[in-house]
Structure 1
């Protein structure tokens, strides 16, 4: 019979292994997701998302809930970061304003043919951009998108439809 301490150590080791494997398979995709959602510090956002997943690992329904949870955290952190930057830019003086633009890491992840699409995505409202990226880039179903964004499936349909219409207009104007 094993002691509770040994069982706890074994559970912690198994969790560490599962998180390491998840990091190996999901990190690059989550960085791309954050970039497509408009984050200028995607690596920091994903690192924070993995940290939050690590802290809450024992509270997850199961290991299969880790990726949806991670995706949701990346969406929420990106949204909060963009709101924060809007406030900072609104109240910044010309002397304190940070240079705008994407990080070198974010640009390196994108191919030339994707830059126009990403630029058009950045012009969309945040919720429309999130819905489109989750739907068309990750291929999630409406229920999964609703869970990741924290909204109803009907709102997902609305954001996706409006986002596609706006994206089509923006891309046609650039031609």
Structure 2
């Protein structure tokens, strides 16, 4: 056996990275789309595609393959937050006769049952940080430290956002009954 040349080693590493990313895409795509939808994104598929692209670009800089999912989750949260801010600015500065933009795709809404629709509608009424904390905690089952990392805030702030979000969500859902 001859030792691998530097070019061969780089090619092998690139092939392994591509295979790892392809596997990650197959296992995490649907979960990331659900996360983006629950966070209020109207273009969840585009956000997740951008998140995977950013993961691909930064793959070599990750601490390891096990850091890929938390990084991806964080990127989806950040991209969704940025998209929602952008839409707020657009709506604020749009003319009154402009057509309103849909909150989510018809396909995403059709897949939800009535009780899920009420819950998603109640989630959309929450402030963004509370919504993010609740979705990451209760739909993805993340621990406080993981949520803090994904949202870029402290664990104490995660507790505060989760608690306030649950209280507000409870109030909204009780009012609908």
Could you state the TM-score of these two structures normalised by the residue count of structure 2? Answer: 0.92
Q: After superposition, what is the alpha-carbon deviation per residue over 1:82-120, rounded to whole angstroms, capped at 9, x for unaligned? A: 000000001111233443331123224433331110000
Contact 1:32 1:109 in 2 (8 A): no
Q: 1:25 to 1:54 in 2, by over 3 A?
A: same
Q: Retained in 1: the 8 A contact 2:42–2:102? A: no
Relative to structure 1, the CA distance from residue 97 to residue 142 in structure 2 (aligned partners, 3 Å threshold; closer, same or farther) is same
Give the unaligned 5+ runs of structure 1. none
1:37-57 per-residue CA deviation (whole Å, 9 max, x = no partner) reads: 000000000000000000000
Aligned-pair CA distance for 1:6: 5.5
Structure 1 CA distance for aligned equivalents of residues 63 and 109 of structure 2: 36
Partner residue of 2:53 out of 51, 66, 69: 51
| Helix, strand or coil at the partner of 2:168 | helix
TM superposition score normalised by structure 1 = 0.93
Structure 2 counterpart of 1:6 = 5
Q: Is the 8 A contact 1:30 1:71 kept in 2?
A: yes
For residues 164 and 126 of structure 2, the distance between their equivalents in structure 1, rounded to whole angstroms, comes to 10
RMSD of aligned C-alpha atoms?
A: 1.7
Aligned length: 173
The structure-2 alpha-carbon separation of the partners of 1:52 and 1:125, relative to structure 1 and needing over 3 Å to count, comes to same
- CA contact 2:123–2:169 (8 Å) conserved in 1: yes
Query: Gaps (5+ residues) in structure 2?
Result: none
Q: Give the 3-state SS of the residue equivalent to 1:128 in structure 2.
A: helix
